[in-house]
Amino acid sequence: MRFAVLADTHIGRSIPLAIAEHRREAFSRALTRAVDLCVERGVDYVFIGGDLFERRTLRPHLVQFVHDELYRLARMNEELHGIKAKILVVRGNHDGRPQSDTLDYIKHPLADYLHVFGDTPESAVYRDARLHVVGLNYYDQAEKSFDVLAAPGFKDAEGLRVLLLHHFIGGYNDVPPYSECLTLDRLSEVSPDYVFSGHYHRRCPPKRLPSGGWVLTPGSLEMYDFAESPDKGFYFVEAGGGEPRFEWVPLEPMHVMRQVKVTTDRRRPPKWFMDRIRETIEAFAQELNGAGKKGYIRVVVEGRLSEGFPSDVTTREAEAIMEREPALLWVDVETMRLDMPPMAARPERTNGDVAEYFSDLGEFSTDVRDMHRRVRDALDNEASEQTGLLTPTSRTPFVAEWVERFEARRFREAQP
């Protein structure tokens, strides 16, 4: 029998919001293509490992879209191959929480092709003549939910033992620090023949569990964010007789999504950074045109300015390129990580005498000149490399002295 194993379809994802419609379209199209391929090949079971939806609250037409696509899968699969496929779904962290999740909307009394797992040990089990499947929805505490909801579900299991879940798997996925996960040893305790997992967005090759079964993470169907690689798709698994066969089914992301860093070790003027940004975006546009694809690019600018301010690195040129290159759906230039030149915030040197400039203040103008000179010296010696300003410790005494000197004088408004 043939399984399709997919996860993290994130229907409705609209981030980055500047290109929300393109993003929603890309995720929807990925599901459509996965359904097309399942129908073409013919499947017995479809396992969806959570995060079918991006959010608990979504536009109704997107929920309808998912419902229709799953129905199409079941109907066409039966028409073309004579197989009544079963689609099994667990809840991911994006789908909502117990009692309040988007999956409720795709359940239907007549949709016998669809099984959505529940939140009790009993409703976490699906069984038929061939399979015994435990579906573990997402919970904040991975291990506890596994002990309480999943492990008891394998008691008296007959047939092929499958665990479907939405959690990181330690020793298999590259688990981010401080994240909850289930270990391969823990999963082995229930001796599953297959563990299919969502939540981790990068595709992982099948791996044997210490207990002998297989664990498989297909990753997300589309590019979730700029940090991901475009290696997207899902798995077919030929199971049930002898050694299983795993087949990776690639899905090319709809758009090219690229993050590029513009940086240098040396201090450079704003123009240097702007030239690099322009070159980067133009090269990307050329690549898109060559590949006949559309795409978005985020340019992260890092480094130190030799003059001027980060705001001098403008996005005008980037916007102009976007205007004339229809393949560029969006360009984002991030200059927040640019450091100012060492003395950027220093007052400009004046040729004139400061006291003369403030002569209206009478004798106090010599106080101003004195303070100005000392602050300038302090800036020369102690200014922060990053901001060009005095640090609070060196600034505070100046402020105190300034207030003291100011209060020691009496000023009268000039008479008209």
Stretch that binds Mn ion, among 45-53, 56-64, 69-77, 226-234 (CB under 5 A): 45-53
Among 89, 150, 95, CA closest to 120: 150
Sign of the dihedral defined by the CA atoms of residues 101, 105, 106, 110, in that order: positive
Interaction between residue 54 and Mn ion (CB under 5 A): no
Closest distance between Mn ion and the C-beta of residue 136, in Å? 15
How many chain residues touch Mn ion (CB under 5 A)? 2
Q: Tell me the residue nearest to Mn ion as measured from the CB.
A: 51
Query: C-alpha dihedral over 74, 75, 80, 81, to 10 degrees?
Result: 40
Nearest distance, CB of residue 148 and Mn ion, angstroms: 23
CB of 9 to Mn ion, least distance (A): 9
Of 287, 300, 222, residue with least CA distance to 259: 300
- Residue partners of 314: CB distance under 8 A and separation at least 6: 274
Residue with tokens 């402020």: 399
Nearest approach, Cβ of 262 to Mn ion (angstroms)?
30
Nearest to Mn ion of 13, 294 (CB atom): 13
Applying CB under 5 A, among 2, 6, 46, 51 the residue interacting with Mn ion is 51
Least Å distance, CB 138 to Mn ion, is 9
- String of contacts with Mn ion for each residue 204-243, x by CB under 5 A: ----------------------------------------
Query: Is the CB of 51 or the CB of 101 nearer to Mn ion?
Result: 51
198 and 8 Cβ atoms separated by less than 8 Å:
yes
The residues in 109-148 that bind Mn ion, with binding defined as CB under 5 A, are none
Q: Is residue 8 part of the contact set for Mn ion (CB under 5 A)? A: yes
- Least spacing, CB of residue 52 vs Mn ion, in Å: 10
Tally of CB atoms within 10 A around 322: 19
Which of these segments, 29-37, 44-52, 55-63, 310-318, binds Mn ion (CB under 5 A)?
44-52
Closest approach, Cβ 167 to Mn ion, in A, equals 11
Residue nearer to Mn ion on the CB measure, 46 or 368: 46
Q: Which CB, 231 or 377, lies closer to Mn ion?
A: 231
Whichever of 101 and 193 has its CB closer to Mn ion, that residue is 101
Q: CB of 49 within 8 A of CB of 196?
A: yes
Task: Please list every residue from 287 through 306 that binds Mn ion, using CB under 5 A.
Answer: none
Nearer to Mn ion, 77 or 220 (CB): 220
Question: Considering only residues 322-361, where is the footprint of Mn ion by CB under 5 A?
Answer: none
Output 225 or 319, the one with its CB closest to Mn ion.
225
Q: How far apart are CB 42 and Mn ion at their closest, in Å?
A: 28
Contacts with Mn ion, residue ranges (CB under 5 A): 8, 51
